[in-house]
Amino acid sequence: MSKNLSILTNGILKENPVLRLVLGTCPTLAVTTMASNGIGMGLAATFVLLCSNVVISALRNIIPNQVRIPAYITVIAGFVSVVQMLVKAFVPALDASLGVFLPLIVVNCIILGRAEMFASKHGIFASALDGIGMGIGFTLTLTVMGTIREILGAGTWMSGLEGLLPFLPDGFKIQVIPTSIDPFSIMTSAPGGFFVFGVLMAAATWLTTPKAKKEVKEGGEA
Amino acid sequence: MDSILSLASIFFTMILVDNYVLVKFLGICPFLGVSKKLDSAVGMSLAVTFVMVMATAATWPIQTFLLTPVDAVTGELKWDLGYLQTIVFILIIAVLVQLLENILKKFIPALYKALGVYLPLITTNCTILGVTILNIDNGYSFIESIVCAAGAGIGFLVAMVLFSGVRRRVEMAMPPKCFEGLPITLVSAAMVAMSFMGFGGIVQSIFGV
């Protein structure tokens, strides 16, 4: 049980796909201008990751080794098309704001990476857990990054969330920084994306390394 | 004459204003992974440009004549297979890359040696799928699509070469411990991206389109 739990929680910080494994950087930088976009992209990718991990793990003994990459890509592309159709039908606002990055989930290296590194070697249940864990890690990172960029760059938080949760009123947003202060708009454009990503990655490194040092120290004392 | 102007405008917009790497965030993985050395940066970019143009030349006719053909008389869609776009395009790109690898190996071994190691990586490079889908979304004609793909490739080359120069300096700097490696590289990429923002509007003022 604890092994399953660790598979699930691995993706959140220790093996965070974006900050530690540095996979799927393109959507991370491109869609995180708003926190709500980050949530939407994260959920879409989590769905694809979960489904493709399960299917690939179920087929892992049938797919010949030489053609495994094209086979994986076909499975992933199938699920991405499903997500594209669902999003277009039920959350058109999200489709408009994610644009080309929705079909580009196909070439998101997180998904192919997990298929190759995890799902092709483990059982269905473990692969499903891995998909969910990695998906949660991806969604959390995108949301945190979107939050930082949106609050600094536009002064608001979660604007556009009514596209995902239809019961919210139109034009829903939380004003964090009063409108009398000019927002730091470079944060929502390209340089801000690179900058926030770099700082977050440094923070993740900082959070994970001191612990390792402490363990070594404790071990040394004992 | 007019069309040449608009083609040139598309070409330079793709290189400077809408640079895929620094403005649109496509192809960040190779941008961070292969930009350490100038040689490999140039090799990778040339391979990407080549595959991009080939992929556009292959996907544009397939989208226009097979997936969503328009009846010449009524102007209506004869049939609509547009939902297959993602699957069909990625398979075409994968096959194309494989084919190119074999052809180059057999007929132009010198080029194969130069580009060989980068070719398999290109299938999952999002610039390729991105440029083919964006060309369709923008409603470009065949010639415009090819020019746009070439511009995107050259833009990728420019960004990679510029950044490999920046990176050589960054390697020697001594940032705080947790910033070492990728984080400081990303922060310097932010500076390069900021300098590219200065090109906004330059193409409109030159070509007046």
pLDDT computed for residue A32 by the predictor: 87
Note whether residue B60 is domain-resident.
Answer: yes
Q: Is the separation of the CB atoms in A13 and A117 below 8 Å?
A: no
pLDDT computed for residue B53 by the predictor: 92
Number of domains in chain B: 1
Q: Where are the domains of chain A?
A: 2-221
pLDDT digits (tens, 9 = 90+) for B25-77: 888 878 887 788 888 888 888 888 888 999 999 999 998 888 888 877 777 77
Q: Which residues of B touch A107 (CB under 8 A)?
A: 90, 123-126, 129
Q: Is there a contact between A84 and B83 if contact means CB atoms under 8 Å apart?
A: yes
Note whether residue B173 is domain-resident.
Answer: no
Residue B38: domain span: 2-163
Note whether residue B134 is domain-resident.
Answer: yes
**Residue A91 tokens, joined:** 């959350």
Q: Is there a contact between A197 and B186 if contact means CB atoms under 8 Å apart?
A: yes
Instruction: State how far Cα A28 lies from the chain centre.
Output: 7
| Nearest neighbour of A74 by CB, restricted to B28, B91, B123 | B91
Classified as helix, coil or strand, B122 is helix
Note whether residue B207 is domain-resident.
Answer: no
Contacts of B200 (CB under 8 A, 6+ apart): B17
pLDDT computed for residue B209 by the predictor: 54
Q: Which residues of B touch A (CB under 8 A)?
A: 22-29, 32, 83-87, 90-91, 94, 123-126, 129-130, 133-134, 137, 176-179, 182-187, 189-191, 193-194, 196-197
pLDDT computed for residue B147 by the predictor: 92
What torsion, rounded to 10 degrees, do the Cα atoms B6, B125, B52, A97 define? -30
Instruction: Please state the rounded mean pLDDT for residues B140-144.
Output: 90
**Residue B44 tokens, joined:** 């990778």
| Nearest neighbour of B137 by CB, restricted to A69, A100, A107 | A100
pLDDT digits (tens, 9 = 90+) for B80-127: 887 888 889 988 888 888 887 888 888 878 777 776 667 777 777 788
Q: Is there a contact between B83 and A106 if contact means CB atoms under 8 Å apart?
A: no
| Helical pair A124-154 and A35-58, crossing angle rounded to 10 deg | 170
Note whether residue B16 is domain-resident.
Answer: yes
Q: Which residues of A touch B (CB under 8 A)?
A: 22-23, 25-26, 29-30, 69-70, 73-74, 77-78, 80-81, 84-85, 100, 103-104, 106-109, 112, 186, 189-195, 197-199, 201-203, 205-206, 209
A5 vs B166, higher pLDDT:
B166
Please tell me the distance from the alpha carbon of residue B21 to that of residue B189, in angstroms, as a whole number.
Answer: 10
Q: Which residue has the tokens 């990429």?
A: B189
Q: What ipTM was reported for this prediction?
A: 0.81
Q: Is there a contact between B124 and A104 if contact means CB atoms under 8 Å apart?
A: no
Nearest to B28 by CA among A107, A218, A59: A107
Å between A136 CA and nearest CA of chain B: 21
pLDDT computed for residue A112 by the predictor: 86
pLDDT computed for residue B2 by the predictor: 58
**Segments of chain A with pLDDT less than 50:** 214-222
Note whether residue B30 is domain-resident.
Answer: yes
Alpha-carbon torsion (A30, A36, A38, A44), positive or negative: negative
Q: Is the separation of the CB atoms in A37 and A144 below 8 Å?
A: no
Nearest to B59 by CA among B118, B157, B146: B146
Confidence of residue B154 (pLDDT cuts 50, 70, 90): very high
What is the C-alpha R_g of chain B?
Answer: 19
| pTM metric for this prediction | 0.83
- By CB neighbour count within 10 A (0-12 exposed, 13-18 middle, 19+ buried), where does B116 fall? middle
Q: Is the separation of the CB atoms in A182 and B155 below 8 Å?
A: no
